[in-house]
Structure 1
Amino acid sequence: MKLLRHGPAGQEKPGLLDAEGMIRDLSGVIPDLAGEALSPAGIARLQGLDVAALPKVAGRPRLGPPVTGMKNFVCIGLNYADHAAETGSPIPKEPIIFLKSLGALQGPDDDVVIPRNSAKTDWEVELAVIIGTTARSVPEAQALDHVAGYAVSNDVSEREWQLERGGTWDKGKGYETFGPLGPWLVTKDEVADPQDLAMFCDVDGERMQDGSTRTMIFGVAKLVSYVSHFITLHPGDVISTGTPPGVGMGKKPPVFLRAGQTMRLGIAGLGEQNQRTVAAE
């Protein structure tokens, strides 16, 4: 099942994508895609609906982030060996965790703002794991029981702020619009193996990233378990699991985003995002 949120920013309604690619409204069934709706019982209830009886949503409405009410937007750094190599970094012995500001969260096709005085804004296609039930110090063997589903994430990053301005990575990751998520949450029953998903990112039609979750250093189950020992994960929380090679920072010479460009990125079975880059006002 593909679950989504549609409508103007801040006024999104829950919905789902039917077999014909039509959006069906869920606002008469659940308040939003948050909390209990993301639990196994909540997902099972939605899967049991008569989809044909749900109201159709006309046209092509804006899509917002596919979940709301999250408390944590967790990201994993350098989680692909080939990406670590392109950045000249050693392979981590344990997952590198940082937090992305919740203010960065936005819809999958919303514009990405290039900040004032930014010289090194970069792209990163990533597999996002969406939590369905509270996870607190869970063993790896039970970690996937706490997952509601998966989505596409673009971990937009300002590399100078991240790496050259002192302190932690967070300052290069949390600018508004730096967290496109979606287009939808694909429930985990439709993802046979989260460690075997092709992924890509194009900038202005040029293929920049062409990878697979097969080359993750730490897999999804390991990450959910590991993070849950440091940060209690709640329904709607997101773990963005790292990016394959091909980021702008890793090009020789490096290539970074500027206003007026387009990004297209996606993961097999999870949909695509399309963003324009615009200058900060």
Structure 2
Amino acid sequence: MTEAVGRTALVELSGVSKNYGNVRALEGVSLEVHAGEITCVLGDNGAGKSTLIKIIAGLHQHDGGTLRVDGEETRFGSPREALDRGVATVYQDLAVVPLMPVWRNFFLGSEPRKGVGPFKRMDVDLMRRTTRSELLRMGIDLRDVDQPIGTLSGGERQCVAIARAVHFGAKVLVLDEPTAALGVKQSGVVLRYVAAARDEGLGVVFITHNPHHAYLVGDRFVLLRRGTTVGRHTRDEITLDELTEQMAGGSDLADLRHELQRR
């Protein structure tokens, strides 16, 4: 793991809490994201992962604790503010337009233009060339950037979204369950490009419920259960078996195993 001692975290949450009315979604959650490292956040449904994503992405504001970006205490007012500070979030549904070509989705909402006045138009050639070269730089060799993005596999679409975030200057990449709906082979493709983003120097937050995927790429692990932190570890502090056991509930799982044994 990259040595992080003495370095300022790109993003740091300290004791962050979030309430929705009388429901406490997060309570006292802390994590660090460093350049060139992957921080994995693990938890089952209802653990608080979605709320954590929304706070980092600028969709929701935290009620307690602190959020720091490059060491500066911050409270994002919108996703645009988060993007302007270099925090890009790739959601599970990806927010792509399936019938549009890959290059159009790559630049969606940020299209470069050429010409002046009434003759100003999208620079399609530049978008095609840039999409192809940026995908290749990340090791993604698509057959044709003119094909509709909906014809790509789930893993390929995830990889296009990662390459897009890298191209537009993200320093922190938040990935929402990128392998959740994928098979083993496609999950491997995505994990390869998650590692490529790390190697580009980005800090990555990898949200997942799969400890095997997390352990393949993770440098730090934060385990959530019912909105609270039940474990924080670096890679050299925990084995895959220990991570899996904590993810599965530890003593709760042992009690269930005992209860289900044949008498």
Q: TM-score, normalised by structure 1?
A: 0.24
**Higher alpha-carbon Rg:** 2
Q: TM-score, normalised by structure 2?
A: 0.25
**Where is the helix percentage greater, Structure 1 or Structure 2?**
2
